[in-house]
Amino acid sequence: MASLCYYSSFNVIILVATLLLTNPIDCFGESNQEQEAEKTPKLLFVIGDSLYDPGNNQYFNATEITRQSYSWPYGMNLNHKKATGRASDGFVIPDFIAFCLGITPLQPYLQPGADLAHGANFASAGSGCLDIHPGVMNLKMQLSNLKKVAKSLEQNLNEQKAKQVLKGSVYLIGLGANDYFEFNKNHPNASKSERIKYIHMVLGNLTMGLEEIYEMGGRKFAFQNVGPLGCLPMIKQMYPQLNWGCNNDLLIVARMHNRALSNVLKKLALKFTDFKYSIFDYYSALDERINNPSNHDFTEGKIACCGNGQFNGQDCGGDTAKDFYNLCKEPDDHVFFDGLHTSQRANSQLADLIWSGTPNITGPLNVKQLFELP
């Protein structure tokens, strides 16, 4: 039986209606009434960039980095056919994780009156572990907003109960790509030692953030590592001198980051014996779909559904690009929706791996197992 994380575009619409109108069975095989009977709820908190952003940046002044996803054709496969600020034709990865929990997708934290009953999504397109872009919520600001939620829990419950909620919750984190895009742009001829130094800065900031969450009470962390940055349609299109091939410098720094991230988490687990974590090997999962799309029910792995140029790598949607971009008929056939972001169908598959993937792709625990922990 397929995981609840995976749905076709049509089934996603049916699922949302079902979640709103019925009392579904969640991925643990328990009804919502049984969950509600638990004394301590387990929430989902999301920290990330555009791969996880459900529309937070709409509540900032639009910037060049993020404004395109506010317009058609972004959101074209959602039931209202309108852009929500998600950088996809439909739902993004945390939305599908929410489906697996038997809840509707978390609203943008910055949305006025956002429902925080099941957690909060702080992700912001263009963000990084470092303060690389103005006008977005980088890691520091996302952590600041998480602290506000923790403070609210203390006020509504009490300090002890709030700590228990934070301890039982899962923190889904996907950051790093934008840090390395920025570094590569500013230092195209960086040496290996310079790259290593920068990776230490990125992971140093992330580590400090994790220790802050731990101090608040967080114990269960789920990470998506950095993808094959040099093989994304936009990046390949930016370097025609490479004969439309992948940018090896970005691939190298992504792999270096991922190895270092794994080591950092192992050290944290030794330092804090109750620190539990999951790493989803996004690099390998996405690379596999790029190079072998037909093995995963796609027809196109390298050319985006929406955009312009050799790989449809740029200028999808947005007011300034109106009438100047290509748009495929079936986004579900493509791994990528635009030059940097995966399609809703790809997101559902990736979320399925995060939720219940085996240790060779998501380990040492998967997110389902993290939620099952006390």
Q: What is the pLDDT of residues 211-245, one digit of tens each?
A: 999 999 999 999 999 999 999 999 999 998 888 89
- The pLDDT assigned to 67 comes to 60
Cβ–Cβ under 8 Å, residues 38 and 31: no
Catalytic residues: 50, 338, 341
Q: What is the pLDDT of residues 198-211, one digit of tens each?
A: 999 999 999 999 99
Distances from the Cα of 90 to the Cα of 7, 17, 208, angstroms: 12, 15, 33
Do residues 292 and 301 make contact, with C-beta atoms less than 8 angstroms apart?
yes
**Paired strand residues for 314:** 308
> Domain of 347: which CATH number?
3.40.50
Q: Which of 12, 1, 74 is nearest to 345 (CA)?
A: 12
Closest C-alpha to 279, from 361, 207, 350: 361
- Overall average pLDDT of the 350-361 stretch: 98
Q: Write out the two tokens for 26.
A: 């969640």
Q: Among 11, 35, 38, 7, which residue's Cα sits nearest to residue 100?
A: 7
Domain that holds residue 77: 44-231+248-283+341-372
Q: Describe the crossing of helices 344-356 and 9-21 by its angle, rounded to 10 degrees.
A: 60
Distance CA 128, CA 357 (A): 26
Which of 126, 68, 115 has its CA nearest to residue 338?
Answer: 68
Residue 28 lies in a domain: no
Q: Tell me whether residue 353 is in a domain.
A: yes
Domain membership of residue 299 (yes or no) is no
Q: How many CB atoms lie within 10 A of CB 336?
A: 31
**Considering the domain boundaries, does residue 39 fall inside one?**
no
pLDDT at 307: 96
Geometric angle at alpha carbon 96, from 203 and 292, rounded to 5°:
75
Task: Tell me the HSE value of 94 on the side-chain side, using a 13 A CA sphere.
Answer: 34
What would the pLDDT profile of 75-113 be if each residue is shown by its tens digit?
999 977 778 899 999 999 999 999 999 999 999 999 999
Q: Is residue 94 part of a domain?
A: yes
What mean pLDDT value characterizes the chain?
89
Q: How many domains does the chain have?
A: 1
